[in-house]
Amino acid sequence: MKTIILNFSGRENGNCKSIANFIKEYKNDAKIIDIAKVCKKPCGTCNYECFDIKDCGNTINELYMELIKADLIYFIIPSYCGLTSSLFNIFYEKENAFFHKYEQYSDKYLEIEKKFIFVANYNFEYFYNIASMLNCKDKNDVLFLSSSRYNLKSVNGDLLTSDAVKHTLKNFIFDEISYEKSAMAVVISKNKILCTKEEVFKKEILSLPKGHIENDESIIEAAIRECYEEANVKIQKDDYVTTLTPFTIHFINEKDEPTCKTIIPVLFLNNNVKINNIKEERIKEIELIDIKEFLTKCSYSNVKDVVNEAVLTLLIK
């Protein structure tokens, strides 16, 4: 099995290089390629010579010729100003030129297993899009290592001093992901929606009541129970309208394991919902708010999608 590890940071001793070395410890015959040594020149004034004649100061052709022979490629990409590093951008621009010349290799390149590690503190959706541009189909093949999550400063390049980071990386290398299932209560009452406010990493989050589905309960029972535990509102099985489209999120759980959680939203209609006292400590506020207002203020885009689907469902019914 031929594994190639691409380091997209220019720093010799930064986080990306340490991550590359860490992977190599487990994959002895893997080859680390520092893109800084290959992609020295960004695009300049030209007439697209790279499309048909030769490399323009970079040894990109040789690099791609090597990549197409790999079975697995790790991309280790640092975030600069919320985006990918310029070294990654140069590499990616040149891909276009290479496959323009050597079209016969493009299917092979697309098929190669690719794993992505982004050293980034925010803009996660953008990075997922970058991974999908390189034909990554499974979000489990994308790992975010955020220094702030481990109370470290990313510019110090000391991410790998954290045992939690090493543990997470090891799980990622060996595909050890924990899977969880949650039910979410979408409770509509007189054109308002029941929502909760809580504090996560010092940020106020407006969302909907949700939580683990226990082994012995159905999705509807779990949504009803979570609604009671988190929002102190008792809804009934009779209020059930339908189960909406599930969505999946990825994060690191409290045991520092990469986790893939599927959230199944359940729609209820009850025009007599009353707000009671808060009983769950984590929750800062329970509110019935106008659906339109919720859609502008809700913290998560996937929860907004759920509520839009709920509104459409109720309109049709």
Ligand X SMILES: Cc1cc2nc3c(=O)[nH]c(=O)nc-3n(C[C@H](O)[C@H](O)[C@H](O)COP(=O)(O)O)c2cc1C
Return the C-alpha torsion angle 179, 183, 184, 189, nearest 10.
170
Residue of 4, 16, 143, 186 that binds ligand X (CB under 6 A): 16
CA distance 258 to 267: 29
CA distance 137 to 113: 10
Q: Which residue is nearest to ligand X (CB)?
A: 14
The amino acid sitting at 146 is: S
The amino acid sitting at 282 is: R
Work out how close the CB of 121 gets to ligand X at its nearest, in angstroms, rounded to a whole number.
Answer: 3
Closest CB to ligand X among residues 119, 286: 119
Judged by phi (left if over 0) then psi (alpha if -120 to 50, else beta), residue 82 lies in left
CB neighbour class for 128 (10 Å; exposed up to 12, middle 13-18, buried from 19): middle
CA distance 243 to 227: 15
Residue of 80, 102, 128, 228 that binds ligand X (CB under 6 A): 80
Residue of 79, 168, 171, 182 that binds ligand X (CB under 6 A): 79
Give the footprint of ligand X on residues 110-139 (CB under 6 A): 119-121
Work out how close the CB of 9 gets to ligand X at its nearest, in angstroms, rounded to a whole number.
Answer: 3
Residue of 15, 84, 196, 270 that binds ligand X (CB under 6 A): 15
Angle at 156 between CA 155 and CA 160, to 5 degrees: 115
Residue of 53, 110, 155, 312 that binds ligand X (CB under 6 A): 155
User: And the tokens for 228?
Assistant: 């009671």
Helix axes 86-101, 60-67, angle to 10 degrees: 80
Closest CB to ligand X among residues 17, 210: 17
84 near ligand X, judged by CB under 6 A: no
Work out how close the CB of 164 gets to ligand X at its nearest, in angstroms, rounded to a whole number.
Answer: 16
Work out how close the CB of 263 gets to ligand X at its nearest, in angstroms, rounded to a whole number.
Answer: 26
Residue of 38, 50, 58, 78 that binds ligand X (CB under 6 A): 78
81 near ligand X, judged by CB under 6 A: yes
Q: Taking the alpha carbons of 51, 53, 56, 61 in that order, is the dihedral positive or negative?
A: positive
Work out how close the CB of 159 gets to ligand X at its nearest, in angstroms, rounded to a whole number.
Answer: 7
Candidates 66-74, 149-157, 208-216, 252-260; binding stretch for ligand X (CB under 6 A):
149-157
162 near ligand X, judged by CB under 6 A: no
Work out how close the CB of 59 gets to ligand X at its nearest, in angstroms, rounded to a whole number.
Answer: 21
User: And the tokens for 290?
Assistant: 């106008």
Work out how close the CB of 25 gets to ligand X at its nearest, in angstroms, rounded to a whole number.
Answer: 17
Asked whether the beta carbons of 70 and 42 are under 8 A apart, the reply is no
CA distance 283 to 230: 7
By CB under 6 A, name the binding residues for ligand X.
9, 11, 14-17, 78-82, 119-121, 154-155, 157
